Amino acid sequence: MYLKSLEISGFKSFAKKATLNFTSPISSIVGPNGSGKSNVAEAFRFVLGEQSIKSMRGKRGEDLIFNGGGDGARVNRAGVKVIFDNSKRMLNVDFDEVAIERVVHRDNSNEYFINGSPVRLRDIVELLAHAHIGASGHHIISQGEADRILNANIRERREMIEDALGLKIYQYKKAESQRKLEKTEENMKSVESLRREIAPHLKFLKKQVEKVEKVQQLREELRNLYKEYFKREETYLKDERKKIDNEKDPLVKELAQLDIEIAEARNILENSKNRDSKSDELINLEGSLYKIRIEKDSVMREVGKIEGEISSGNRTISKEKEKQARDEFKTIYLKDVEEIVNRVSLIDSLDEIRQILSRFISSHKNKEDSALIAEIEKEISELKNKKKDFENNLIRITDEEKARTLEYNELRQKIEREKDSNRDAEKNVFRIIARQNEVRGVLNGARTREEKLMFEEEAHKREMQEAYAIVGREALDNKDLILSDEPRPLQYDRLKNIEKIKVRIEDSGAGNSFDILKEYKEVEERDIFLAKEIQDLEVSKVNLNNMISDLDARIDIEFKEGILKINAQFQQYFSLMFGGGNAGLNVIREKKRLKKSDTDLSAVLADNVENIIENEGEEGIEINVSLPRKKVKGLMMLSGGERALTSIALLFAISQVNPQPFIILDETDAALDEANSRKYGDMIANLSQYSQLILITHNRETMSRAGVLYGVTMGGDGASKLLSIQFEEAVQVAK
């Protein structure tokens, strides 16, 4: 037995806690009319999750709570708890005993519990569904429920039997699949609409991409040229830097050593006992020449820097002029635009407006924006003036150097003519100064080449930045490139070719190419995604249609197999009830009579019998019965008692095909006489082999089949009370 007990507290007429223990396969609940015994069946509906208050004979949740009566005070809550034996894991939880409880308060709020833990209604419904238990299932059968299956139409009857056979789950799945199918078809229309919307834009972008691809070819050519150019330029600059450093370093060291030596020689002269006026003059000349040459070296370096800046400015002017020669880089000032707008804003003639605009464009087409060029030319002019100042200073220094050098040479000749050994120190000074002049000359040449190299390095960096902006980082990736030696002029030719390609790229409007490619890729990917989504939706649609077809087939097969099983049990119970006869269920298709005029306009004028056609509707269930020893066929010819027996036989047959853990029969035997009650009792005994039974009855014969008998009485306070009698006592009471 799966059902252990039912506890009722404050529910309807049960003011105080009442417990029904179900220790027998058949338990019976009896009592006079109005005692509240049918409230037990409604308590089962309530605790199992029934949400229709109307089905429990109320209008709102408050109607389910004991409202007082006589001396009894009303209560504020109603609770029902049902306890199941779950040792065989009928319910899908890992407990040997499962208690399900529901509580309703006067504010219509509900609480649900499983083994004392708060849960949702959904949790309870799902838990019970695994055991084929529900608040409105066929395990709670009232007298009206028994008669309802006979009075229902064929379609409603089919739904009731499908529910009893456990086919509702397939119906839910089918309905869910149909909803998904409708949603899928809506999505397909939406996606197709989106794809149609982006098609023109995609076509436009594709044409733009074709133009961009031509530019990309130029970029690729430029990228390859850049790779070789940068590789060779880096090698050249590195080698030149190394040569200059190798040339400068020993000269700088030697010049430093010569400075030490001349300082020592000067010291010897200054401290010599035999020094004379020539020695003093030599020291002064040497110091003067040293300062002059230091100053000269500094001025020459400044002149070299200025020349480099002037050269760079000239190159910038040349590039800017080439750029402004192209129409797309023409600049029109805002004041000019405002002026032309004011001129055309009050003119009605389109031809006149067109002429004004054409003249405006022509006037600006050949106009150069000289602001930037003028600014650079101004800087160059300032640099040239600065250079001129340095050159004048250099002339002065050079003249002064020549004068001092002449004095120096004359003094040297005088000292050379004198053969006095005391002149060795002076001669040494002459030697050192001569070597200093040689070293400074070579060093100045190296420094001049270094200044030039520095400008070449700066130009190389600018070219790398420009290459990065035009063709990306790949232009700088030349580590794996292996090149053979070539004359330096070929590198200059390569740079000219690079400049030409850059001009072609700028002329093509490649500044937006990356944006165009990006947008085209995004739109194309969107189109591909939408196409793939349509394809996936098509597959989903096919799968859903197949699933619906499979569910229809499964429902049809299981339904018809269930009908065969029900018919076997129905025939058995019917024969038991009536001592023979035949009973069965037939699957038929509903017939609908329509006028041809509803579907065929040509038949509107023909109003006759031929104008009436039959249309096949949904499948349903027809009940056929034939009583023994009577020419009674069909439900319409049965008496009230015969209808009651037939409905009971059918409900019992349905219950045995898909046995439920327990069945509650609420006065389904009310219309039976004594003879038929015994047959009903036999059916009860037979049914108890498959399901645990709780019988709410007045019938003595039915009572006698129960192992436990509960009596319900009602006192002066309007509250129901329970009395229990065991099997032996039940037999005596029944007799």
Same-domain pairing of 371 and 410: yes
β-partners of residue 83 are: 5, 99
Q: What is the pLDDT of residue 669?
A: 84
Q: pLDDT class for 614, splitting at 50, 70, 90?
A: low
Decide if pLDDT at 636 tops 50. Answer: yes
Rounded Cα distance, 674 and 379, in Å: 128
Decide if pLDDT at 417 tops 80. Answer: no
Examine residue 525 and state whether it is found in any structural domain, yes or no: no
Cβ neighbours for 163, distance < 8 A, ≥ 6 positions apart: 137, 138
φ, ψ at 657 (rounded to 5°): -70, -40
Q: What is the pLDDT of residue 199?
A: 92
Q: Which amino acid is at 232?
A: R
Q: What is the pLDDT of residue 134?
A: 64
User: For 669-715, what is each residue's pLDDT tens digit?
Assistant: 887 888 888 888 888 888 888 889 999 998 888 898 999 999 999 88
Q: Which of 653, 562, 581 is nearest to 624 (CA)?
A: 581
Q: What is the pLDDT of residue 675?
A: 80
Same-domain pairing of 361 and 344: yes
Rounded Cα distance, 556 and 584, in Å: 18
Count of CB atoms within 10 A of residue 400's CB? 16
Examine residue 291 and state whether it is found in any structural domain, yes or no: yes
Domain final position from 472, 506, 529: 472
The domain total for the chain is 2
3 state DSSP class of 295:
helix
Rounded Cα distance, 481 and 703, in Å: 104
Query: Are the C-beta atoms of 133 and 48 separated by less than 8 Å?
Result: yes
34-46: buried (b, 16+ CB within 10 Å) or exposed (e) per residue? ebbbbbbbbbbbb
pLDDT-wise least confident of 186-200, 345-359, 491-505, 561-575: 345-359
Examine residue 311 and state whether it is found in any structural domain, yes or no: yes
User: For 301-311, what is each residue's pLDDT tens digit?
Assistant: 787 778 777 87
Same-domain pairing of 355 and 372: no
Decide if pLDDT at 111 tops 60. Answer: yes
Q: pLDDT class for 68, splitting at 50, 70, 90?
A: confident
Domain final position from 472, 494, 526: 472
Decide if pLDDT at 352 tops 90. Answer: no
Q: What is the pLDDT of residue 533?
A: 92
By 3-state DSSP, what share of the chain in percent is helix, strand and coil, each rounded to 5? Answer: 65, 15, 20
Angle CA 670–675–678, to nearest 5: 75
Q: pLDDT class for 509, splitting at 50, 70, 90?
A: low
Same-domain pairing of 359 and 262: no
User: For 565-584, what is each residue's pLDDT tens digit?
Assistant: 999 989 988 888 888 899 99
pLDDT-wise least confident of 236-245, 607-616, 646-655: 607-616
Same-domain pairing of 456 and 434: yes
φ, ψ at 722 (rounded to 5°): -110, 140
Query: Are the C-beta atoms of 677 and 645 separated by less than 8 Å?
Result: no
Where do we find the tokens 């004198």? 418
Q: What is the pLDDT of residue 729?
A: 60
End-to-end CA distance of the chain: 27
Examine residue 138 and state whether it is found in any structural domain, yes or no: no
Q: Which of 71, 73, 91 is nearest to 82 (CA)?
A: 91
Rounded Cα distance, 152 and 4, in Å: 34
Q: What is the mean pLDDT of residues 203-226?
A: 85
Structure tokens at 668: 């389904």
Rounded Cα distance, 75 and 719, in Å: 11
Q: What is the pLDDT of residue 609?
A: 47
C-alpha distance from residue 441 to each of 158, 349, 446, 450 (Å): 117, 78, 9, 14
Query: Are the C-beta atoms of 98 and 128 separated by less than 8 Å?
Result: no
Same-domain pairing of 341 and 467: no
Q: Please report which residue ranges of 579-710 form alpha helices under DSSP H.
A: 596-599, 640-657, 674-687, 700-704
Decide if pLDDT at 83 tops 90. Answer: yes
Domain final position from 472, 493, 525: 472
Rounded Cα distance, 544 and 541, in Å: 5
Examine residue 234 and state whether it is found in any structural domain, yes or no: no
Q: What is the mean pLDDT of residues 89-104?
A: 93
Q: Which residue pairs, CB below 8 angstroms and at least 24 apart, start in 468-476?
A: 470/219, 470/222, 470/502, 470/505, 471/219, 471/222, 471/223, 471/226, 472/223, 474/223, 474/227, 475/222, 475/223, 475/226, 475/227, 475/230, 476/226, 476/230
Q: What is the mean pLDDT of residues 634-650?
A: 83
Same-domain pairing of 311 and 396: yes
Cβ neighbours for 261, distance < 8 A, ≥ 6 positions apart: 428, 432
Q: What is the pLDDT of residue 577?
A: 82
Highest mean pLDDT among 335-349, 581-595, 672-686 belongs to 672-686
Decide if pLDDT at 79 tops 90. Answer: yes
Largest alpha-carbon pair distance within the chain? 174
Q: What is the mean pLDDT of residues 440-464?
A: 84
Half-sphere exposure of 275 (CA within 13 A, CB side): 16
Query: Are the C-beta atoms of 621 and 585 separated by less than 8 Å?
Result: yes
Examine residue 133 and state whether it is found in any structural domain, yes or no: no
Rounded Cα distance, 172 and 178, in Å: 10
Q: What is the pLDDT of residue 679?
A: 83
Q: Please report which residue ranges of 325-423 form alpha helices under DSSP H.
A: 334-344, 350-365, 370-417
Q: pLDDT class for 22, splitting at 50, 70, 90?
A: very high
pLDDT-wise least confident of 87-101, 602-616, 694-708: 602-616
Q: For strand 692-696 and strand 708-714, is the pairing parallel, antiparallel, or unpaired?
A: unpaired
Cβ neighbours for 183, distance < 8 A, ≥ 6 positions apart: none
Q: What is the mean pLDDT of residues 164-175?
A: 81
Count of CB atoms within 10 A of residue 667's CB? 20
Examine residue 416 and state whether it is found in any structural domain, yes or no: yes
Query: Are the C-beta atoms of 14 and 82 separated by less than 8 Å?
Result: no
DSSP string, 102-170: EEEETTS-EEEEETTEEE-HHHHHHHHHTTT--TTSTTEEEHHHHHHHHHS-HHHHHHHHHHHTT-HHH
Q: What is the pLDDT of residue 78?
A: 95
Q: pLDDT class for 471, splitting at 50, 70, 90?
A: confident
Same-domain pairing of 396 and 444: yes
Same-domain pairing of 253 and 344: no
Q: What is the pLDDT of residue 585?
A: 92
Tell me what the pLDDT averaged over the chain comes to. 82
Rounded Cα distance, 420 and 238, in Å: 53
Q: What is the pLDDT of residue 43?
A: 94
Decide if pLDDT at 172 tops 60. Answer: yes
Q: What is the mean pLDDT of residues 325-352?
A: 66
Query: Are the C-beta atoms of 46 and 732 separated by less than 8 Å?
Result: no
Query: Are the C-beta atoms of 464 and 230 separated by less than 8 Å?
Result: yes
Burial of 20 (0-12, 13-18, 19+ CB in 10 A): buried
Q: Looking at 420-573, which runs of residues are DSSP E strands?
A: none
Where do we find the tokens 């039912």? 6
Query: Are the C-beta atoms of 86 and 93 separated by less than 8 Å?
Result: yes
Same-domain pairing of 371 and 339: no
β-partners of residue 616 are: 591
Query: Which tops the pLDDT comparison, 31 or 394?
Result: 31
Query: Which tops the pLDDT comparison, 113 or 57?
Result: 113
pLDDT > 90 in the chain, percent: 23
Q: Which of 125, 4, 15 is nearest to 722 (CA)?
A: 15
554-571: buried (b, 16+ CB within 10 Å) or exposed (e) per residue? ebeeebeebbeebbebbb
φ, ψ at 631 (rounded to 5°): -90, 55
Q: What is the pLDDT of residue 421?
A: 45
Which residue range forms the structural domain that includes residue 371? 248-327+367-472
Q: What is the pLDDT of residue 425?
A: 66
DSSP string, 651-681: HHHHHHHS--SEEEEESTTTT--HHHHHHHH
Same-domain pairing of 318 and 347: no
Cβ neighbours for 376, distance < 8 A, ≥ 6 positions apart: 313, 316, 317, 320
Q: What is the pLDDT of residue 190?
A: 92
Q: What is the pLDDT of residue 368?
A: 59
User: For 544-568, what is each residue's pLDDT tens digit?
Assistant: 999 999 999 998 898 889 999 999 9
Examine residue 429 and state whether it is found in any structural domain, yes or no: yes
Query: Are the C-beta atoms of 641 and 676 separated by less than 8 Å?
Result: yes
Q: pLDDT class for 97, splitting at 50, 70, 90?
A: very high
Rounded Cα distance, 400 and 395, in Å: 8
Q: What is the pLDDT of residue 279?
A: 61
CA 100, distance to chain mean position in Å, is 40
Q: pLDDT class for 322, splitting at 50, 70, 90?
A: low
Query: Are the C-beta atoms of 590 and 159 separated by less than 8 Å?
Result: no
pTM greater than 0.85: no
Same-domain pairing of 345 and 415: no
Highest mean pLDDT among 107-116, 128-137, 207-216, 573-582 belongs to 107-116
